[in-house]
Amino acid sequence: MNGAQDLGGMQGFGPVAPEPNEPVFHADWEKRAFALTLAMTMPGQWNIDMSRFARENRSPTEYLSMSYYQIWFAALETMVTERDLVSDDEIVVGHSLHPPKPVPRILSPSAVAQVLYRGGPTERESNTQARFNAGDRVRTKNINPPTHTRLPRYVRGRLGTIERVIGCHVFPDSNAQGAGENPQWLYTVRFDGRELWGADGDPSVTVSVDAWEPYLVPA
């Protein structure tokens, strides 16, 4: 979606301001929000693309006003209520009121290390040939779905070169909507800075994005 998360090329945010000796978490609640989010992937009620969309899918006013972990937490609240794991009245009172919805599994403490190590690999067997090869000139499509996509606005309709054929991966645009993994070939595509930002762009800059095959057409 063309939400506030699609920040590439936006101006007016001021300088990058690194915090000296920044702690991993700025508050206790941030630690809990982080851990809860990770732990709640275990019951298998949503996939990572859905959770990314849940973060993006809010008013830009809200998105830009919230801190990083506030967004994570808001998305978690949305997902647990949308999938009937928690009800709105329970959120208000802050404890369980209704019997839990059965889920296949939950994260046990002893499994944490292994789960983190395994991660969530997205590579899948391919049953098609990759359409493009390294060196091919491609153009990104001008798509503006209201649903999840990983093609940023600043890169749409632009001419680039395939840098690398990465492999066949879960397609987020599809997976986030619950329409299945629908694995697609994934490529690194490189764009000249001036192609993206115009003739006044820095000629020494290139930008590479990872783009799935459905985002691309031959140039």
Partner 1 sequence: MNGAADMGGMHGFGPVVPEPNEPVFHAEWEGHSFALNMVTGVAKLWNLDAFRFKRESIPPAEYLNLSYYGLWTMTLELMMLEYGVATPAEIAAGHAIAPIKKAPHAVTATQCANMVRCGSPYNRQAPAPALFETGDKVRAKNMHPQTHTRLPRYARGHVGEVMRIVGCHVFPDSNASNLGEDPQWLYTVRFDGRELWGADTDPTVRVCIEAWEPYLEPL
Partner 2 sequence: MTHDHEHHHEHGSDLSEMQLRTRALETILLEKGYIEPAAIDVLIETYEKKIGPRNGAQVVAKAWVDPRFRQWLFEDGTAAIGSLGFGGRSGNHLVALENTPSVHNMVVCTLCSCYPWAVLGLPPLWYKSAPYRSRTVADPRGVLADFGVTLPKDTEIRVWDSTAELRYLVVPTRPAGTEGWSEEKLADLVTRDSMIGTGLAKSPGDLK
Contact 160, 195 (CB under 8 A): yes
- Given a contact cutoff of 8 angstroms between Cβ atoms, the answer to whether 140 and 151 are in contact is yes
Least Å distance between CB 86 and partner 2? Answer: 17
Q: Which of 80, 87, 66, 90 is nearest to 5 (CA)?
A: 66
Do the Cβ atoms of 158 and 139 come closer than 8 Å? yes
Q: Is 144 in the site for partner 1 (CB under 8 A)?
A: yes
Report the distance separating Cα 49 and Cα 173, nearest Å: 8
**Paired sense of beta strands 216-218 and 206-212, if any:** unpaired
Identity of the residue, 59 or 126, whose beta carbon is nearer to partner 2 in the bound complex: 59
Stretch that binds partner 1, among 16-24, 72-80, 88-96, 137-145 (CB under 8 A): 137-145
Structure tokens at 164: 């690398």
- List C-alpha distances in Å: 168 to 20, 126, 209: 40, 6, 16
Exactly one of 26, 31, 36, 59 binds partner 1 (CB under 8 A); which one? 59
Whole-angstrom distance, CA of residue 140 vs CA of residue 127:
23
Q: Among the candidate windows 20-28, 53-61, 80-88, 119-127, which touches partner 1 by CB under 8 A?
A: 53-61
Token pair of 205 as six digits: 């800059």
Q: Considering the complex, state which of residue 54 and residue 168 has its C-beta at the smaller distance from partner 2.
A: 54
Q: Tell me which of partner 1, partner 2, none is bound by residue 1, counting a contact when its beta carbon lies within the kind-specific cut-off of 5 to 8 angstroms.
A: partner 1
Does 108 help bind partner 1 (rule: CB under 8 A)? no
- Could you tell me if 155 and 8 are in contact, meaning their C-beta atoms sit under 8 angstroms apart? yes
**One residue of 27, 143, 179, 205 binding partner 1 per CB under 8 A:** 143
What does 211 interact with, of partner 2, partner 1, none (CB < 5 to 8 A by kind)? Answer: none
Positions in the binding site for partner 2 (CB under 8 A)? 58-62, 144
Q: For partner 2, which is the closer residue by CB, 59 or 96?
A: 59
Q: What is the binding site for partner 1 (CB under 8 A)?
A: 1-4, 9-14, 56-61, 63-65, 141-144, 146, 153, 157-158, 195-201
